[in-house]
Chain A
Amino acid sequence: MPRQVGSLPLPPHQRARLQAAGFETTDELQGIGPCQLAEELAIPREEAMGILRMARGQEGPVNYPNALQLLVEEQAEDGLLPTFSSALDDLLGSGVELAVITELCGAPGVGKTQLCLQLAVDIQIPGCFGGLGGQAAYLDTEGSFMPERLQQMSEAVITHCSRLASTKQERDQQDALKTFTPDFILGNVFYFRCFDVTQLIAQSHLLPDFVDSHPKVRLVIIDSVASPFRHGVDDAALRTRLLISLAQRLAQLASTRRLAVVLTNQMTTRIHPNSTQSASLTPALGESWGHAATHRVILQWQGNRRFANLIKSPTRGEATVEFTVTSEGIRDVPTTPSLPATMPAIPTASMFLSSPTIPTSLPSTSTSSNLILKSPSALPSLHMTSASMPPSTSASPAVLGCTAGAISIAGEKRMRNMDD
């Protein structure tokens, strides 16, 4: 069946004229020259040429990648984006996944912005430590971005990496550490402040070009996507349309350039008229928005403890894990005997060396089989060392005092190299 003219992405007046002249399918447009068409439709010649070009479509054989090629491509990725809490990484499947949209929902204060800041630092971990060595684009709509906190987190990550380098004594790690400084990390976070819906949507249109001109950008954070839409758009149907088209643009950006896109959402109350409980918290922006993100994590409070609940994911099972926010950033909760048994234990190396998402057996007949057997060998050491020394880093008042001093020093520095 030939393509109907009405299904081409043409402006309405051109479509109307084509149909008035009696053209139904693209086949009928094949034998006509642009001048003749322009005359028949009474439109300028350039428009006629545009129509014909669209009607002709792409020519030539098309080859689509098959699942095996995509799998190989996915595993050729040389690094992960950890959250520095092994429980959270495990929840999401060896860190935040690239090429998809991850949504973090939560009540105020639970740690969404903290997690975003942590990811903005973690994306920059050099490849020799198992990271991606990339840059981050941070779109801020609420004004909750704190450079001082970013500085604090980056210092903690650098300390961690230097400990690793000193134990392993590898040349490339020590070389990488020379440039891996707080200034360097802050300089690799591109900050965009969007004050309303229009600016956010405009920025989302500009992001592909920005990413093309800065090819090292591997992470896009939007914190938060809910606030401008909830306050700036009155019409609910328009809001849904704008949100879904934004989601599709982000999904395309993520997929074509293999970025991780992390969005933050707020929570709202849903009333249950028929059920036993009268109301409960649910992610904001409506049901249609729920389809936009690939992975959806709800961060919630229970008393004084923070939990992360994965409620939507095509690849991971539902789970709830606990995490904490320390002066160094997002970390695991240190295991003490008083905690209930539902707490996931500090992972051992064996759990990370055979990473859950990477298979270890595929045929040797495949041309790129040597790419398939991959395990992030450097990354488990990252977690191992954090696991082996939790008490001294998280609870000691001396350390807190030290970092507070660092904050005051950092308060005098301002973020340099902020591109806009």
Chain B
Amino acid sequence: MVVLRQGLCSGLDAELVASLKARGVTTVQDLVCANLAQLAIDADLPYKRIAMVRRVLVAQLGAFLASAEMAYAELLSSTAILPTGCTALNSLLDCGLYTGELTEITGAPGTGKTQVCACVAVSVACDLKQRVFYIDTTGSLSPSLLLCLTQAKLTEPSLQASALQRIEIVKAFDAFSVLDEVEKFQKRLSEPLLAREEEVRVLLLDSVFSVFSPLFGSGHADGQSFLMHLARQLKFLAKEYNLAVVVTNGVLSSGREALGRAWSHVPNVRISLSMERSGPPNKVAGQSMEVAGPSDEHACTDVEIEDDIVRSDVEMAEMEENIEIDATDDGSDRHVKKFERIETKDTRSESGGGVNSVGDIIRLGGTSAASGGDPKSLRYAKLTKSTRQVSDSVFVPAFPCGRDSLALMVLLIFSITANCFGDTWLMRRNIECLSQNVDSKIYLNMAIN
């Protein structure tokens, strides 16, 4: 709904706006839907003029047609896959984080969401030498953690410093500040590149739950709408500027992801982290006390994990610390041990073709004991939603070849539903299956706003 005002397009002056307003036509939508002939008679205006204005407005503000082929070509050329810094997580995510997508990491407190975000930030800054924008809402991002992770990857101090300079951190502690910061970030990106040699590749928001959950509830009926505004902004940023957006969410007591059902449709990929604590902290003779970790509900039994791992063909090699520890840092290995990497022998991921299914669980790594006698907690990551990685059954309609009109209809239905998901990858996969039977081009509307 765009309000008609003077100067919106050529030919729309104040007088015309006023006379249209007097007839109840205040927005562009009203003008487009109005009966032009009737309006011209009522308002005593030349029909040609109003028709021309309408044509110009539609051309300026309306959506334009694009073919799926063009969309796919553009996607191929613009999408980048960013490694997360953890090999197992990369394999779960189909080689890494995709730009143009919103990835969500959920989990109970203490399962490692901030750690994963920090790892992604460092991986992009060190390995890819691209910039990172980190919005921290809880204050838990510690620069020393980033330093430790950087030191694990790079040994040269000057390289470490330049890697750290690529990570920009902004702290915003309430929902409106987050919205403001995202808007400012977008304005900055939309300015022409002055002397910027490196592009921002990742936007991390840790966490969206802590700033938006106070807005939900009986007193605030519009809390949901603010969250959806943020969702729109983030998705726009991801698509328009080829960023990977990573968002952290929390869980409720029941184990479900927080922020409701409406938000659950927003991210393209969802990963759920969970932690299994093995054994009580200290067994003193005769008495042992269990302290329940918050994520016991997520604890997967060993048998379950084994099955899933076998199904996804990932074989866990030994867990080893492949981190260089600076000889002068006596205690810094404590930080680093918390995030061990797993060397996985995965032939499929090596060939780049491993597509994981939704529901796969991988083991991320344990925290080693900082002092003797402590339990190793194992962290698991589960892929709970992905618009790219489909499950085993893909809908393939069976119809005889040559029936082009029917095929076109089916394909059109497909295109409409795929458009609802808004995902060109999914469309492509389905089209691949279908195009074995028919040879038609699909035209679909892509609303760009």
Which residues of A line the B interface, CB within 8 A?
Answer: 1, 3-4, 6-9, 12, 15, 21-24, 28, 31, 57-58, 61-62, 64-68, 70-71, 73-74, 90-91, 97, 99-101, 237-238, 240-242, 244-245, 247-249, 251-252, 254-256, 270, 272, 275, 277, 280-283, 286-288, 290-292, 294, 296, 298, 300-303, 305, 307, 309, 311-321, 340-342, 344, 350-351, 354-363, 365-366
Nearest Cβ on chain A to B166's Cβ, whole angstroms: 7
Among B244-294, those with CB < 8 Å from A are 250-253, 258, 281-282, 284, 286-294
A321 to B281, CA, bound (A): 10
Residue contact A318 to B370, C-beta cutoff 8 Å: yes
**B406 in contact (CB, < 8 A):** no
Q: Assess A288 versus B250: contact at CB under 8 Å? Given A6-B229, A301-B289, A320-B374.
A: yes
Among B176-195, those with CB < 8 Å from A are 176, 179-180, 183-184, 186, 188
**B95 in contact (CB, < 8 A):** no
Binary CB contact string for chain B from 201 to 241 against chain A (1 if under 8 A, 0 otherwise): 00000010111011011100010011001101100100010
Q: Assess A6 versus B290: contact at CB under 8 Å? Given A248-B174, A248-B214, A317-B368.
A: no
Residue of A nearest to B293 (CB): A311
Residue contact A248 to B211, C-beta cutoff 8 Å: yes
Contacts of A321 in B (CB 8 A): 371
A24 to B226, CA, bound (A): 14
**Residue in contact with A356 in the complex, picked from B207, B232, B286, B332, CB distance below 8 Å:** B332
Binary CB contact string for chain B from 294 to 329 against chain A (1 if under 8 A, 0 otherwise): 101000000000000000000000000000001011
A280 to B296, CA, bound (A): 11
**B63 in contact (CB, < 8 A):** no
Known: A15-B222, A22-B27, A286-B253. 15 other contacts (CB 8 A): A9-B176, A31-B7, A67-B168, A237-B217, A247-B210, A252-B171, A281-B290, A288-B209, A288-B252, A291-B207, A311-B291, A312-B109, A315-B145, A342-B373, A356-B329
**B138 in contact (CB, < 8 A):** yes
Q: Assess A319 versus B144: contact at CB under 8 Å? Given A302-B287, A354-B329, A356-B330.
A: no
**B372 in contact (CB, < 8 A):** yes
A367 to B332, CA, bound (A): 24
Contacts of A360 in B (CB 8 A): 326, 328-329
Residue contact A288 to B167, C-beta cutoff 8 Å: no
Contacts of B3 in A (CB 8 A): 21-24, 28
Contacts of A12 in B (CB 8 A): 222
Contacts of B186 in A (CB 8 A): 1
Residue of A nearest to B28 (CB): A22
Residue contact B214 to A319, C-beta cutoff 8 Å: no
Stretch of B156-164, B392-400, B408-416, B431-439 on the interface side: B156-164
**Residue in contact with B214 in the complex, picked from A1, A62, A241, A358, CB distance below 8 Å:** A241
Residue contact A291 to B331, C-beta cutoff 8 Å: no
**B118 in contact (CB, < 8 A):** yes
A247 to B289, CA, bound (A): 29
Nearest Cβ on chain A to B212's Cβ, whole angstroms: 9
Contacts of B164 in A (CB 8 A): 66-68, 71
Nearest Cβ on chain A to B332's Cβ, whole angstroms: 6
Residue contact A287 to B160, C-beta cutoff 8 Å: no
**Residue in contact with B330 in the complex, picked from A251, A301, A354, CB distance below 8 Å:** A354
**B35 in contact (CB, < 8 A):** no
Q: Assess A67 versus B146: contact at CB under 8 Å? Given A21-B3, A251-B138.
A: yes
Residue contact A342 to B282, C-beta cutoff 8 Å: yes
**B110 in contact (CB, < 8 A):** yes
**Residue in contact with B216 in the complex, picked from A241, A298, A307, CB distance below 8 Å:** A241
Binary CB contact string for chain B from 92 to 129 against chain A (1 if under 8 A, 0 otherwise): 00000000000000001110001100100100000000
Contacts of A99 in B (CB 8 A): 139
Q: Assess A317 versus B282: contact at CB under 8 Å? Given A6-B229, A244-B214, A311-B110.
A: no
Q: Assess A275 versus B296: contact at CB under 8 Å? Given A296-B110, A314-B140, A366-B161.
A: yes
Residue contact A287 to B253, C-beta cutoff 8 Å: yes
Residue contact B282 to A244, C-beta cutoff 8 Å: no
A290 to B114, CA, bound (A): 14
Residue contact B145 to A314, C-beta cutoff 8 Å: yes
Residue contact B229 to A71, C-beta cutoff 8 Å: no
**B23 in contact (CB, < 8 A):** no
8 A/B residue pairs, CB under 8 Å, sorted by A = A58-B180, A66-B167, A100-B140, A244-B210, A248-B137, A251-B138, A287-B251, A314-B114
Contacts of B296 in A (CB 8 A): 272, 275
Residue contact A67 to B167, C-beta cutoff 8 Å: yes
Residue of B nearest to A355 (CB): B331
A281 to B133, CA, bound (A): 39
Residue of B nearest to A313 (CB): B110
Contacts of A68 in B (CB 8 A): 143, 161, 164-165
Q: Assess A24 versus B2: contact at CB under 8 Å? Given A300-B289, A359-B326.
A: yes
Residue of B nearest to A240 (CB): B213
Residue contact A291 to B377, C-beta cutoff 8 Å: no
Residue contact B372 to A342, C-beta cutoff 8 Å: yes
**Residue in contact with A64 in the complex, picked from B170, B250, B258, B371, CB distance below 8 Å:** B170
A319 to B374, CA, bound (A): 6
Nearest Cβ on chain B to A58's Cβ, whole angstroms: 7
**B55 in contact (CB, < 8 A):** no
Residue contact B373 to A28, C-beta cutoff 8 Å: no
Residue contact B216 to A315, C-beta cutoff 8 Å: no
A288 to B249, CA, bound (A): 11
**B369 in contact (CB, < 8 A):** yes
Residue contact B291 to A287, C-beta cutoff 8 Å: no
A342 to B282, CA, bound (A): 9
Residue contact A280 to B294, C-beta cutoff 8 Å: no
Contacts of A251 in B (CB 8 A): 137-139, 173
**B169 in contact (CB, < 8 A):** yes
Residue of B nearest to A283 (CB): B294
Most buried by A among B7, B236, B287, B373: B373
Q: Assess A270 versus B292: contact at CB under 8 Å? Given A288-B252, A294-B140, A318-B367.
A: yes
Nearest Cβ on chain A to B324's Cβ, whole angstroms: 12
Most buried by A among B27, B161, B329: B161
Residue of B nearest to A282 (CB): B292
**Residue in contact with B168 in the complex, picked from A6, A66, A314, A359, CB distance below 8 Å:** A66
**Residue in contact with B292 in the complex, picked from A58, A62, A280, CB distance below 8 Å:** A280
Q: Assess A57 versus B183: contact at CB under 8 Å? Given A298-B291, A342-B372, A362-B161.
A: yes
**B348 in contact (CB, < 8 A):** no
Residue contact A291 to B169, C-beta cutoff 8 Å: no
Binary CB contact string for chain B from 35 to 59 against chain A (1 if under 8 A, 0 otherwise): 0000000000000000000000000
A9 to B174, CA, bound (A): 11
Residue of A nearest to B174 (CB): A248
Residue contact B331 to A351, C-beta cutoff 8 Å: yes
A95 to B138, CA, bound (A): 20
Residue contact A67 to B139, C-beta cutoff 8 Å: no
The 6 lowest CB-CB distance pairs between A and B, nearest first, are: A356-B331, A290-B109, A342-B373, A312-B110, A7-B229, A71-B143
Q: Assess A100 versus B109: contact at CB under 8 Å? Given A12-B222, A282-B294.
A: no
Residue contact B225 to A302, C-beta cutoff 8 Å: no
Residue contact B109 to A365, C-beta cutoff 8 Å: no
Contacts of B70 in A (CB 8 A): none
Residue of A nearest to B159 (CB): A363
Residue of B nearest to A61 (CB): B188
A306 to B75, CA, bound (A): 58
**Residue in contact with A291 in the complex, picked from B138, B183, B286, B287, CB distance below 8 Å:** B138
Residue contact B282 to A66, C-beta cutoff 8 Å: no
Residue contact A31 to B217, C-beta cutoff 8 Å: no
Nearest Cβ on chain A to B446's Cβ, whole angstroms: 15
Residue of B nearest to A252 (CB): B173
